Structure 1
Amino acid sequence: MRVFVTGSTGWIGSATVDELLGSGHQVLGLARSDRAAAALAAKGAQVHRGDLDHPASFREAARAADAVVHLANKHDWADQEGGDRAERAAVEAVLDGLEGSGKPFVIANGLSGLVRGRPALETDASPEVGPAADRGGSENLALESAARGVRPIAVRFAPSVHGRGDWGFVNWLTAAARRHGVSGYVGDGTHEWSAVHVTDAARLIRLGLEHAPAGTRMHAVAEERVTTRAIAEALGTALSLPVAPIDPADAAEHFGVVGHFFGQTLTGSADLTRTLLSWRPTGPTLLEDILGGAYTTDTSDHGKDA
């Protein structure tokens, strides 16, 4: 298949491009900068210049492809409403291009906010509906497109998609530990996160693209429960820093944006995903990655122009 990938030089997108190319697919990657374009070309992928703020710039690329994987997101915490609008407009542009084709469309989401008090299941519908919702209600918008002749598939990522070069949540926790000279956890550290290695997440995307029926919700979860205290302790060991609890009232100041998430339990089950697609994660665990030095190098600018 010729697969159009947005977010193709981001953290998960880069691994997905590698997975697709390694499995014999052709890749057309959306790039908004010269650096991103060069990175794609170096891998043997084709380049389509454009960005999320101009969805018309990639509507025809989606139409011409055999499949679309939408991983790009602005991640602008200072303007979440603007990011939500951009996300919805991007999905609308892709759906306009794919309507009536029967082609697969994989769209990214997270486990955060799906349910409270238990692990999220693939059968749990996202509560985010409509343009004013988180991420512009894009998951539901995409899944509803089955009625428009599209094969939509949602992939929901664990809060930690980890690995060497990760610039997401665990990298932010690492930066906070270095900044304050202590690896912290919120409260008593019994909050839990799910986790998945980035290569396992990329393989799941490829399997879903190839085999998942329309309307499938996939959970990229290899480990269902890792305590936040265990994460902090592993970071403390890797960075040779003391480990200490952080008062929940001080979490935002200590950790920054990630403090809000680190003080929550964010877990999901992937039992149905594994059964449907015969997906068996093989990458290292989150704690193995941390203790193995995956977060001892600063990657704070990785993927910024993806």
Structure 2
Amino acid sequence: MRVFITGASGHVGSAVIPELLQAGHEVVGLARSDSAAAAVADLGAEVRRGDLDDLEGLADAARDADGVIHLAFKHDAMTAGDLASAAAADLAALDALGNALTGTDKPLVGTSGTAMIPMMGVTGRPGTESDAFDGGYRIDAENALVGLAKHGVRSSVVRLPLVHSDLDDHGFVPALIGFARENGFSGYPGAGDNRWPAVHTRDAARLYRLALEGAPAGTRLHAVGDEGVPFREIAEAIGRGAGIPTRTVKPEDTAEVFRFLSAFVSVDNPTSAAITRELMDWKPELPGLIEDIDAGHYFG
């Protein structure tokens, strides 16, 4: 299968490309810069220059492919606090890809996040793949993607939790480590008993491949290895690795301590992947979050 990937040079894309190549697929990766193009080529994929704002280019690439995996997201806008424009660009890109694939029965695998589940009001139990919502941040794009199943696209969406591994240079864990070093302590909100789900990058990459190859149309999938790690345990692992103390953070200090992650650090987000594991015959096999942080590669 000839597969077009957006976000090909990113954290997850850098694991998805070799996963696909090892399975015998041909990969074309979108690259918006010379450095991204070099990274994609080094992984063994064909390079297609462009970005998320080149909607015509995205559509052309989708038409030329046998399947599409959409990983790109304007994380720089999200980091700057402009969630609305990041979400709008994601929805526009999905519309371009989906329109190009309409009526072809080709697979289109998109990306969302598990953090949206508690933010949409699901509390007191782990979130599941069956949880769906009328609209909201990133939910609009997720719903548009699932809706393509009615228009001849074998669409599916992978909801990602915190993704970690030695490939992770700019994700949530490096950000939390950076904050901790700047603050002189590794912080956790309140008692730190709110839970974050997590998955190893390469386990997530395998699920993307499985979704591309066989996910039923209109499927929501959870790439979750650790169902819910207490945030205090994450902070303690970071403290051990960085050699700094760990302590609680008062609600009024959250924005100062956690910067652009302040809206997320207090979220209690236990998430199940039971449906995904059974449907896709997918089982996470690589180290969990705390073991991975304790391995030391994040602190080099």
Please name the residue that 1:134 is paired with: 137
Q: Which of the residues 106, 118, 127 maps onto 1:120?
A: 127
Please name the residue that 1:301 is paired with: none
Please name the residue that 2:11 is paired with: 11
Please name the residue that 1:253 is paired with: 256
Q: Which of the residues 204, 218, 222 maps onto 1:219?
A: 222
Instruction: Tell me if 1:156 matches 2:163.
Output: no
Please name the residue that 1:179 is paired with: 182
Whole-Å separation in 2 of the counterparts to 1:136 and 1:83 = 13
Task: Specify the SS of the correspondent of 1:221.
Answer: coil
| Amino acid in the other structure paired with 1:123 | S
Whole-Å separation in 1 of the counterparts to 2:116 and 2:83 = 15
Task: Specify the SS of the correspondent of 2:167.
Answer: coil
Task: After superposition, give the CA deviation of every residue in 1:33-90 in whole Å (9 maximum; x if it has no partner).
Answer: 1111111112221111110122112211101100000010002133222222211110
Q: Which moved more, 1:136-145 or 1:74-83?
A: 74-83
Could you tell me how far 1:261 is from its partner in structure 2?
1.0
| Amino acid in the other structure paired with 1:121 | T
Name structure 1 gaps, 5 residues minimum: 298-306
| Amino acid in the other structure paired with 1:291 | D
Whole-Å separation in 2 of the counterparts to 1:57 and 1:145 = 20
Could you tell me how far 1:127 is from its partner in structure 2?
3.7
Please name the residue that 1:50 is paired with: 50
Could you tell me how far 1:97 is from its partner in structure 2?
1.0
Q: Which of the residues 139, 142, 165 maps onto 2:167?
A: 165
Q: Which of the residues 263, 278, 290 maps onto 2:293?
A: 290
| Amino acid in the other structure paired with 2:193 | T
Could you tell me how far 1:212 is from its partner in structure 2?
1.0
Tell me if the contact between 1:3 and 1:26 (Cα under 8 Å) persists in the aligned partners. yes
Tell me if the contact between 1:239 and 1:296 (Cα under 8 Å) persists in the aligned partners. yes
Instruction: Tell me if 1:80 matches 2:75.
Output: no
Please name the residue that 2:60 is paired with: 60
Name structure 2 gaps, 5 residues minimum: none
Alignment of 1:261-280 (within 5 A): 261-280=264-283
| Amino acid in the other structure paired with 2:19 | E
Whole-Å separation in 2 of the counterparts to 1:210 and 1:192 = 32
Task: After superposition, give the CA deviation of every residue in 1:250-281 in whole Å (9 maximum; x if it has no partner).
Answer: 11111111122111112210001000111111
Could you tell me how far 1:136 is from its partner in structure 2?
6.9
| Amino acid in the other structure paired with 1:67 | G
Please name the residue that 1:302 is paired with: none
The sequence identity of aligned pairs, in percent, is 47
Could you tell me how far 1:232 is from its partner in structure 2?
0.6
CA 169–97 in structure 1, closer or farther in 2 if over 3 Å, else same? same
Tell me if the contact between 2:146 and 2:157 (Cα under 8 Å) persists in the aligned partners. yes
Normalised TM-score (structure 1): 0.93
Task: After superposition, give the CA deviation of every residue in 1:95-138 in whole Å (9 maximum; x if it has no partner).
Answer: 1110110000000000112242121111111442xxxx413711
Count of matched residue pairs: 292
Tell me if the contact between 1:248 and 1:263 (Cα under 8 Å) persists in the aligned partners. no
Whole-Å separation in 1 of the counterparts to 2:203 and 2:14 = 13
| Amino acid in the other structure paired with 1:65 | A
Please name the residue that 1:27 is paired with: 27
Question: CA RMSD, aligned part only?
Answer: 1.2
Whole-Å separation in 2 of the counterparts to 1:47 and 1:267 = 37
| Amino acid in the other structure paired with 1:56 | E
CA 294–259 in structure 1, closer or farther in 2 if over 3 Å, else same? farther
Could you tell me how far 1:245 is from its partner in structure 2?
0.5
Whole-Å separation in 1 of the counterparts to 2:25 and 2:172 = 30
Whole-Å separation in 2 of the counterparts to 1:249 and 1:20 = 46
Whole-Å separation in 1 of the counterparts to 2:47 and 2:283 = 31
Whole-Å separation in 1 of the counterparts to 2:298 and 2:219 = 33
Task: Specify the SS of the correspondent of 1:256.
Answer: helix
Q: Which moved more, 1:63-72 or 1:161-170?
A: 161-170
